[in-house]
Amino acid sequence: MRGSSRRPPPHGKVLLAEMPVEKVIAMLPEKLEAYTANTITDRTVLLKELEQVREQGFAIIDNELE
């Protein structure tokens, strides 16, 4: 999503979780944009969340985009 002002799709966590961690790290911008007060803006927190998505097989978007 680098260089994009568009909001990420809600299924973005699932797509990122399916990618190799190294590729996700390389793709993520240094600063993650906040869309709401609940948006994950810390890369480490997002990577942990993606690990959880991999383990459970689904993602939850808890008011992170709207």
Return averaged pLDDT per consecutive 10 residues of the chain, 66 residues in all. Answer: 54 90 93 89 93 90 72
pLDDT at 11: 80
pLDDT at 8: 61
pLDDT at 66: 67
User: With left for phi above 0 and alpha for psi between -120 and 50, is residue 59 left, alpha or beta?
Assistant: beta
pLDDT at 55: 93
pLDDT at 61: 78
How far apart (Å, rounded) are the C-alpha atoms in residues 59 and 40? 13
How far apart (Å, rounded) are the C-alpha atoms in residues 49 and 51? 5
Nearest to 48 by CA among 27, 30, 24: 24
pLDDT at 10: 64
